């Protein structure tokens, strides 16, 4: 197992220069999630309109894997419909378990493929995606009320 398999250049780039880091105004849907085993936490804010993820920003503390994954996730889901975003989250779940999956939406994500060989780190990679699911489900529930 080589370190470079896990820490690809693309990952380090997202870690060093995170896309969509920051906050949105208070009308945005806000999800706070943490990883209780390690203390990592993420705040994901999304502007959700007419079933579309218009804007997504994140902040928080975490390792290179969790922060780069959050950066990539926000890039990938912007402009996607809820169904498309949730389908992408499902695809990511398969991918991170080691399935061979392509991300035509954002090829950068494929750099995280090495994570599947580090079982202890899978939770780091999925944190932001779990926040995405939670945010969309929350909005769906509100709209159905």
Partner 1 sequence: MQLIREQFPILHQDINGHPLIYLDSAATSQKPRSVIDAVKRYYEWDNANVHRGVHTLGSRATDAYEGAREKVAKFIHAASTQEIIFTRGTTASLNLVASSYARAVCGEGDEIVITPMEHHANLIPWQQVVKATGATLKYIPMQPDGTITIEDVEKTITNRTKIVSVTHVSNVLGTINPIKEITAIAHRHGAVMVVDGAQSAPHMKVDVQDLDCDFYAFSGHKMCAPTGIGVLYGKKALLESMEPIEFGGEMIDHVDLTDATWKELPWKFEGGTPIIAGAVGLGAAIDFLTEIGLDVIEEHEHKLSAYAYDRLLTLDDITIYGPVQNRSGLVTFNLGDVHPHDVATVLDTKGVAVRAGHHCCQPLMRWLNVSSTARASFYLYNTEEDVDRLVDALKQTGEFFGHAIG
Q: Which residues bind partner 1 (CB under 8 A)?
A: 1-3, 6-7, 9, 12, 15-16, 37-41, 61-66, 118, 120-121, 124
Cα 48 to Cα 36: distance, rounded to the nearest angstrom = 27
Q: Which is nearer to partner 1, 12 or 87 (CB)?
A: 12
We find the least distance from the C-beta atom of residue 124 to partner 1, in angstroms, to be: 6
Cα 37 to Cα 15: distance, rounded to the nearest angstrom = 21
Cα 130 to Cα 126: distance, rounded to the nearest angstrom = 6
Q: Which is nearer to partner 1, 16 or 97 (CB)?
A: 16
Q: Which is nearer to partner 1, 3 or 144 (CB)?
A: 3
Pair of tokens at residue 17 = 């220069």
We find the least distance from the C-beta atom of residue 136 to partner 1, in angstroms, to be: 27
Cα-atom radius of gyration of the chain, to the nearest Å? 14
Q: Which is nearer to partner 1, 10 or 24 (CB)?
A: 10
Cα 140 to Cα 145: distance, rounded to the nearest angstrom = 9
We find the least distance from the C-beta atom of residue 39 to partner 1, in angstroms, to be: 4
We find the least distance from the C-beta atom of residue 129 to partner 1, in angstroms, to be: 17
Q: Which is nearer to partner 1, 37 or 144 (CB)?
A: 37
Cα 84 to Cα 80: distance, rounded to the nearest angstrom = 6
* Residue 54 CA to its chain's centroid (Å): 15
We find the least distance from the C-beta atom of residue 76 to partner 1, in angstroms, to be: 23
Pair of tokens at residue 5 = 């398999």
């Amino acid at each position: 197992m080589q370190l470079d398999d896990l820490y690809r250049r693309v990952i380090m780039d997202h870690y060093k220069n995170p896309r969509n880091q920051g906050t949105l105004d208070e009308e945005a849907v806000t999800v706070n999630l943490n990883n209780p085993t390690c203390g990592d936490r993420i705040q994901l804010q999304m502007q959700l309109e007419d079933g579309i993820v218009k804007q997504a920003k994140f902040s928080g503390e975490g390792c290179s894997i969790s922060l780069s994954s959050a950066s990539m996730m926000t890039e990938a889901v912007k402009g996607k419909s809820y169904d498309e975003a949730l389908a992408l989250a499902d695809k990511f779940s398969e991918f991170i378990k080691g399935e061979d999956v392509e991300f035509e939406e954002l090829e950068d994500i494929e750099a995280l493929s090495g994570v599947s060989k580090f079982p202890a780190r899978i939770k780091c990679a999925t944190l932001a995606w779990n926040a995405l699911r939670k945010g969309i489900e929350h909005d769906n529930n509100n709209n159905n009320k």
